[in-house]
Amino acid sequence: MPISDWSAATLCTDADILGYESTWLDWTNDTARWRAKAKAEIEIRLRHAMRDRELETDADDVLDLIANPEIFVRPACFFALALCAQNNTVQKDDTWAFKSAHYEKQADEAMGLSMEMIEFDQDESGTIDDSEKYQVGTGVTFTRGGGIFPPASEESV
């Protein structure tokens, strides 16, 4: 039994985006297009991060096992803004290019935070217990530790 219906979820609205960029409605006359593209970008990233979990479940769509899709409102807003600004870019150093780069950075940061907050129904019970909260990895993790290369010999120093 799915926790949510990812395909029917609306990650952000124009009102959400207006909270970050008050001129949003002046940028385009097709806001639904950019919000849909933002959702598609988030879906790609989620499927990549959850590819191992998808193989472990019987769910028709692994994204339906996310109990709290509302955590993706911020990244969806920023992705929509970045994609729309990129579409409006005329020259590589115009205002739209700057806005696109700025909002893409914001989207990446917001996506990372949201990924750490996912509640995922791993056992497909229909409820989220404490062991199923905040358990989705965000991809590559860097740690401090020993060197990758063998130590240089004294002769090469």
> Which among 33, 36, 43, 35 has a CA at the least distance from the CA of 18?
35
Top pLDDT among 107 and 157 is at: 107
pLDDT at 129: 60
The Cα 41–Cα 10 span in angstroms is 14
* Structure confidence by residue, pLDDT tens digits, 112-140: 999 888 887 766 666 666 655 555 554 44
pLDDT at 67: 82
Write out the two tokens for 43: 């879906």
> Which among 42, 76, 67, 77 has a CA at the least distance from the CA of 117?
67
> Which among 36, 32, 107 has a CA at the least distance from the CA of 72?
107
The Cα 85–Cα 101 span in angstroms is 9
Where does the pLDDT of residue 149 fall: very low under 50, low under 70, confident under 90, or very high at 90 and above?
very low
124: left (phi over 0), alpha (psi -120 to 50) or beta: left
Q: Which H or E run includes 106? A: helix 95-115
> Which among 64, 17, 60, 20 has a CA at the least distance from the CA of 38?
17
* Structure confidence by residue, pLDDT tens digits, 50-87: 887 776 776 667 787 788 899 999 999 999 999 999 99
Give yes or no for a contact between 24 and 14, defined as CB atoms under 8 angstroms apart.
yes
Q: What angle do CA 128, 132, 137 make, to 5 degrees?
A: 140
Where does the pLDDT of residue 150 fall: very low under 50, low under 70, confident under 90, or very high at 90 and above?
very low
Top pLDDT among 59 and 106 is at: 106
Write out the two tokens for 84: 């729309």
* Structure confidence by residue, pLDDT tens digits, 8-58: 999 999 999 999 999 999 999 999 999 999 999 999 998 888 887 776 776
